[in-house]
Amino acid sequence: MGWVQVSDGEQVYDKYAYEPFAVTVDLAVLTLRAGALHVLLVERGQEPYAGQWALPGGFVRPDESAETAARRELAEETGLSDVSGLHLEQLRTYSEPGRDPRMRVVSVAFAALLPDPPPDFVRGDPALASPEPRGGSDAAQARWTPYDSARPLAFDHDRILADAHERVGAKLEYTSLATAFCPPEFTLGELQRVYEAVWGTALDRPNFRRKVLATPGFVEAVPGAARLTGGRGKPAALYRAGAATALQPPLLRPSREGRPT
Amino acid sequence: MGWVQVSDGEQVYDKYAYEPFAVTVDLAVLTLRAGALHVLLVERGQEPYAGQWALPGGFVRPDESAETAARRELAEETGLSDVSGLHLEQLRTYSEPGRDPRMRVVSVAFAALLPDPPPDFVRGDPALASPEPRGGSDAAQARWTPYDSARPLAFDHDRILADAHERVGAKLEYTSLATAFCPPEFTLGELQRVYEAVWGTALDRPNFRRKVLATPGFVEAVPGAARLTGGRGKPAALYRAGAATALQPPLLRPSREGRPT
DNA sequence: CCAAAAGTGTTGATAGTACACCCATGA
DNA sequence: TCATGGGTGTACTATCAACACTTTTGG
């Protein structure tokens, strides 16, 4: 940490010399519902920004890493009993002095990805969460909101949400991250809908299929299994997430602008 | 920040209820010297890890963002009078309890990139740094170290340095970041050496040249200017960094393994 | 039989690689 | 004139996008 570089050397060992920093985590929890990207939001019950929607989050406790705190909050907010398999990714840290009007808050932001039909979650499952959430104020609501109608959010959460979207979109290109949006067994059509929802573009189905299958370790076939997706049509073969984490070759999104010449 | 989600609601407004977190920044300052990637290290003068090398860094002050603190530290450590144009990029935050044996430290890591012939920097230029660095202990040394012989470092800095290298290597592919390693006017050969040093691979010169020039906004020619690079050979045309920040199309590094079939 | 969704084949354009080759300069 | 580094041309090949076509299911 470059401890020795601190110019105000005398204050290094006085833990209470400065007004302390609060360290929190903020979560952009994303999923697909009916083919559209959704984000988990909570309604604030207190000032500032009372009544507005915000990303879920909370304090990092003294014995936790930011990652541990984020996973704990994820379990509390979604009510899922097992969040250990879910993808959780650190985005960046937001530390501007005035982010929160009450005190100095440094927030580590995470993106979390949930499989397609997320169980209609229960907020603050008593079996998991601490005894009594929040003191006197109104109970905060939580709900899934379509990504496009999420804004405006409280604090600097518009920016955090945009950063989460951008990061996830970029990682779909060169990692197998898309499978984190899918249930354990999924069809290639479902996988394609993940790409289309996050990127906001339509993809050519035959070419998508070929690219996915040509990428070693991306998906592996479940022998003999098949499932009807839309009630009609040919049943689709099922696949599981493969061992690869990086895609070689990458699955690049169509470029917005034409190339020169 | 999801303030309302905190389960221990009563403690939200008691700033001193917990032992406070210290928030620091750590810097992986990278440059090219004689065609090889180097990193700026400081020698620790105090326990823990006294006598070992570490990444430079320091505390975030109450009125600073992590970015501001990182830029201040960068100026202090390099002795450069103007660091405003240098590339500074947040990597991620390291928050495991126990990173530092003395107290709870949450560290925001940054990568900084300096142009090729970095002025032989002076540590702690009095005109810039705070009056008297560090209390009683030995003065810490600082020096440029080849990337490959930098380890082992103190704390978890080996990992931070590896993360910095990986991030920079990836960003060379799809951003114009490589120009941040170059002086204001540079030759395509110099630019190519940036890629080769960071990626650790040789590139085909004619093809590299074509790709760079075919990417709109990557570089722009300085009309009529030329410079001898190695004392011998044809003088090379000079270029400046272009307006583009993202490369379209990207400049992909050669894949390690062959493709199937 | 029709609609809908899955899956296969083909083809023309493009981009990338691996070279061979020429140019300008210092010693 | 040779060594060194800059700059250009070219041909082979792998890749990719676009779209026609076949298959299998429910109504």
Q: Which residues of B touch A106 (CB under 8 A)?
A: 21, 23, 60, 66, 106, 108
Please give the tally of structural domains in chain B. Answer: 2
Q: What angle do CA B247, B201, A255 make, to 5 degrees?
A: 20
Q: How far apart are alpha carbons A27 and A225 in whole angstroms?
A: 35
A66 touching B, CB under 8 A? Answer: yes
Question: Is A185 near strand D, with its CB below 7 A from some atom of it?
Answer: no
Domain closes at, from B150, B169, B188: B169
Examine residue A248 and state whether it is found in any structural domain, yes or no: no
Q: What angle do CA B1, A38, A236 make, to 5 degrees?
A: 145
| Distance of B122 CA from D9 C1′ (whole Å) | 49
Nucleotide nearest to B231 (CA to C1'): C26
Question: What count of other Cβ atoms lies within 10 Å of the Cβ of residue B177?
Answer: 22
- The answer on A196 and A159 residing in a single domain is no
CA nearest A89: which of A21, A195, A188, A171? A171
- The answer on B82 and B197 residing in a single domain is no
CA nearest A56: which of A30, A36, A20? A30
Question: Is A249 near strand D, with its CB below 7 A from some atom of it?
Answer: yes
- Is there a cis peptide before residue B117, judged by omega within 30 degrees of 0? no
- The answer on B193 and B131 residing in a single domain is no
- Here the CATH number for the domain that contains residue B216 is 1.10.10.10
What's the pLDDT score for residue A71? 97
Top pLDDT among B45 and B146 is at B146
Q: What angle do CA B2, B3, B6 make, to 5 degrees?
A: 100
Domain closes at, from B154, B169, B184: B169
Examine residue A209 and state whether it is found in any structural domain, yes or no: yes
Interchain pair A15, B22: CB under 8 A:
yes
What number of CA atoms fall less than 13 Å from residue A167's CA on the CB side? 19
Q: How far apart are alpha carbons A146 and A31 in whole angstroms?
A: 10
Question: What count of other Cβ atoms lies within 10 Å of the Cβ of residue B41?
Answer: 24
In the block, residue with structure tokens 């002076």: B122
- Here the CATH number for the domain that contains residue B128 is 3.90.79.10
The tens digit of pLDDT for each residue in A158-186 reads 999 999 999 999 999 999 999 999 999 99
What's the pLDDT score for residue A156? 96
Question: Is B20 near strand D, with its CB below 7 A from some atom of it?
Answer: no
Q: Could you give the 3-state DSSP secondary structure of residue B90? A: strand
Q: What is the mean pLDDT of chain B?
A: 84
**Residue B43 has which token pair?**
């020698």
The tens digit of pLDDT for each residue in A213-244 reads 999 999 999 998 888 887 788 999 999 999 99
The tens digit of pLDDT for each residue in B89-101 reads 999 999 999 999 8
Cβ atoms of B207 and B150 within 8 Å: the answer is: no
- The answer on A56 and A128 residing in a single domain is yes
What's the pLDDT score for residue A204? 97
What's the pLDDT score for residue A13? 46
Interchain pair B21, A16: CB under 8 A:
no
Window 164-223 of B: residues touching A by CB (8 A cutoff) are: 214, 216
B73 touching A, CB under 8 A? Answer: yes
Examine residue B249 and state whether it is found in any structural domain, yes or no: no
DSSP 8-state secondary structure symbol assigned to residue B175: B
What's the pLDDT score for residue A257? 52
Q: Which residues of A touch B64 (CB under 8 A)?
A: 97
Examine residue A59 and state whether it is found in any structural domain, yes or no: yes
- The answer on B123 and B222 residing in a single domain is no
Examine residue B7 and state whether it is found in any structural domain, yes or no: no
Rg (CA), chain A: 21
The tens digit of pLDDT for each residue in B210-227 reads 999 999 999 999 998 788
What's the pLDDT score for residue A46? 84
Domain closes at, from B169, B201, B216: B169
- The answer on B152 and B65 residing in a single domain is yes
- The answer on B135 and B23 residing in a single domain is yes
In the block, residue with structure tokens 């932001």: A109
Examine residue A247 and state whether it is found in any structural domain, yes or no: no
Examine residue A109 and state whether it is found in any structural domain, yes or no: yes
Q: Report, as ranges of residue numbers, the positions in chain A whose pLDDT lies below 50.
A: 1-13, 122, 124-139, 258-261
CB-nearest partner of A216 from B18, B248, B260? B260
HEC profile for chain A? Answer: CCHHHCCCHHHCCCCCCCCCEEEEEEEEEEEEECCEEEEEEEECCCCCCCCCEECCEEECCCCCCHHHHHHHHHHHHHCCCCCCCCEEEEEEEECCCCCCCCCCEEEEEEEEECCCCCCCCCCCCCCCCCCCCCCCCCCCCEEEEEHHHCCCCCCCHHHHHHHHHHHHHHHHHHECHHHHHCCCCECHHHHHHHHHHHHCCCCCHHHHHHHHHHCCCCEEEEEEEEECCCCCCCCEEEEEECCCCECCCCCCCCCCCCCCC
Q: How far apart are alpha carbons A162 and A140 in whole angstroms?
A: 23
**Residue A7 has which token pair?**
């110019």
Examine residue A250 and state whether it is found in any structural domain, yes or no: no
CA nearest A114: which of A41, A180, A192, A191? A180
Q: How far apart are alpha carbons B187 and B209 in whole angstroms?
A: 10
**Residue B118 has which token pair?**
């970095």
Question: Is A224 near strand D, with its CB below 7 A from some atom of it?
Answer: no
Q: How far apart are alpha carbons A45 and A53 in whole angstroms?
A: 10
Chain centre distance of CA B55:
10
- Name the minimum distance, in Å, from the CA of B177 to any CA of chain A: 17
Asked which of A139-153, B34-48, B222-236, B245-259 is least confident by mean pLDDT, the reply is B245-259
What's the pLDDT score for residue A256? 61
Q: Which helix (H) or strand (E) holds B70?
A: helix B66-78
Cβ atoms of B117 and B186 within 8 Å: the answer is: no
- The answer on B76 and B157 residing in a single domain is yes
Any residues with CB less than 8 A from the CB of B185 and at least 6 apart, and which? Answer: B222, B225, B227, B238, B239, B240
- The answer on A101 and A204 residing in a single domain is no
What's the pLDDT score for residue B117? 57
Residue A194 lies in domain:
184-241
- The answer on A144 and A33 residing in a single domain is yes
- The answer on A162 and A231 residing in a single domain is no
The tens digit of pLDDT for each residue in B149-186 reads 999 999 999 999 999 999 999 999 999 999 999 999 99
B130 touching A, CB under 8 A? Answer: yes
Question: What count of other Cβ atoms lies within 10 Å of the Cβ of residue A154?
Answer: 23
What's the pLDDT score for residue B169? 96
Q: What angle do CA A9, A14, A19 make, to 5 degrees?
A: 105
Any residues with CB less than 8 A from the CB of A246 and at least 6 apart, and which? Answer: A174, A175, A176
- The answer on A195 and A145 residing in a single domain is no
Q: How far apart are alpha carbons A45 and A43 in whole angstroms?
A: 6
CB-nearest partner of B5 from A8, A73, A257? A73
Pairs across A and B, CB distance < 8 A: 222
What's the pLDDT score for residue A63? 92
Question: Is A207 near strand D, with its CB below 7 A from some atom of it?
Answer: yes
DSSP 8-state secondary structure symbol assigned to residue B20: P
Top pLDDT among B148 and B118 is at B148
Backbone angles phi, psi at A246, to 5 degrees: -105, 140
